[in-house]
Amino acid sequence: MPFTAVLHSEWSKIRTLRSLLCALGAVLLATVAFTALGGSDSDSSDFDPLYSVFLGVVFGQIAAIAFGATAMSAEFRGAALRGSLAAVPLRGRWFAAKTAAIATPVLVVGLAAGAASLVVGKSVLGAKADTLTPVEQWRGVVGCAVYLTLMALLAAGLTAVLRSGAATLGILIPFLLIVSFVVGDVSGSAADVLPDKAGQVVFHESWDGALGPWTGLAVTALWTLTALCAGAWSVRRRDA
């Protein structure tokens, strides 16, 4: 079966599951809603207008992770994976199509969420957002889409290894909400290479760490690539 046909088949699985469509909607809703709420509190001494405009991404990533984990874990329920591999015996091709089918809608929704956050965030901040340059604004929008896509794929790769969406969410969500913050406060620059901390540099107008906006996303991409390679190995080597 050609790759385009496999990709179409995997996308059909995603768009026919209501829970996955709701997760995609939650990515947009959470990102924009929390941007509006966070932008209303902009009186702190370390105020960063760009980060305030895209603050909702910190919460939107939870929905992106849930989407990636749920989309991949659906294959490990019952005999779903056996059916998929019976139709596509080349496991590497199937896994590539699956990850592409996960990444594409998140990228599109991420662009929409980034653009909406920019409009909402600037509206909430008012004159405090006037210092943002067009380059910084476009960097935030594109960074939002890329970052959310990478986090969804990170979850998908880890789910392929663990074969459980619940286990993936049980690891990643506490890590992002608790561990990453604690490590960031205690270890300083060592936390800069964590997948979320590194990727979120793109949303800062200025950053004191060693990573820049795009090198930070590159570090997140390396984490994601590692998870996907491990997931591909697991799919190829383990019984369906």
10-residue mean pLDDT series, the chain (240 residues): 86 89 94 82 71 92 96 86 84 93 97 95 86 92 97 96 93 82 60 87 84 93 97 83
Write out pLDDT tens, residues 188-222.
566 788 899 899 999 988 877 778 899 999 999 99
Orientation of helix 134-162 relative to helix 165-174, angle to 10°: 130
* pLDDT at residue 42, rounded to an integer: 58
Structure tokens at 222: 């390396």
Cβ count within 10 A of residue 127: 6
Structure tokens at 105: 């809608």
Orientation of helix 213-237 relative to helix 134-162, angle to 10°: 20
* pLDDT at residue 32, rounded to an integer: 94
**Residues 6 or more apart whose Cβ sits within 8 Å of residue 82:** 240
**DSSP assignment of 66-113, as one string?**
HHHHHHHHGGGSTTHHHHHHHH---HHHHHHHHHHHHHHHHHHHHHHH
- In the chain, how many domains are there? 1
Structural domain including 203 reads: 3-237
* pLDDT at residue 188, rounded to an integer: 55
Structure tokens at 19: 């829970």
